[in-house]
Amino acid sequence: MRRNGGRGDTGKIRPELAAIAVPQGQDFALTAGWGNRTDKGVTMPGKGSVKSRLYAGTEAATATQAALLGEATRDIHLNSSTYWANILERVWETHIGGDQVIKKWLSYRERRIIGRALTPDEVRPVMETARHLAAILLLGPELDDSFRACAAAHVPLAIHQPIAAD
């Protein structure tokens, strides 16, 4: 039987990722001002509620991890009582395609837009996305080393010249 909604067995969470983006509280109504809809029906991101802070003891990154993930972390609020704790500085600031990844996700889920609170299953993607982005950022030095090794070993393809007719 498959776990995780049919997505397969994901195995154990790496210890350095387990404390990232942990939901705190039970009120999943997203009302912190993350998004609004214009008169023309376009959803625009809002300011939301972000609390920057230093890592707590159980969240503390190693010096190497802090260099890759940021010296501070963020608590990202759904509303005044519920938030995702410990969304790392560089994870929060990650942009793909010009959009701040997690902030963009939040903008489309504001209670004013969807007309209801989020379900527990809808709260989980922020945690999963934050952990995935952190894992990618932690792989950065290895990926850079691999790229440099490949580039150093690269041999250009020989370009064949056409044979001249006699």
What is the number of other CB atoms lying within 10 angstroms of the CB of residue 44? Answer: 9
Pairwise CA distance, residues 96 & 94, whole Å = 7
A 10 A CB-CB count for 72 gives: 14
Segment 147-160, tens digit of pLDDT: 999 999 988 887 77
Residue pair 62/126 in contact by the 8 Å Cβ criterion: no
d(CA 49, CA 66): 23
| pLDDT tens sequence across 117-132 | 999 999 999 999 999 9
- From residue 11, how far is each of 2, 3, 6, 8, 102 by CA, in Å? 12, 10, 14, 9, 24
Task: Provide the residue ranges of all domains of the chain, joining segments of one domain with +.
Answer: 22-142
At 8-61, the pLDDT tens digits run: 556 788 888 999 999 999 999 999 999 989 999 898 899 999 999 998 887 877
Cα distance between residue 84 and residue 77, in whole Å? 6
Q: What are phi and psi of 50, to 5 degrees?
A: -120, 130
β pairing state of 35-37 and 95-96: unpaired
What is the average per-residue pLDDT within 58-66? Answer: 78
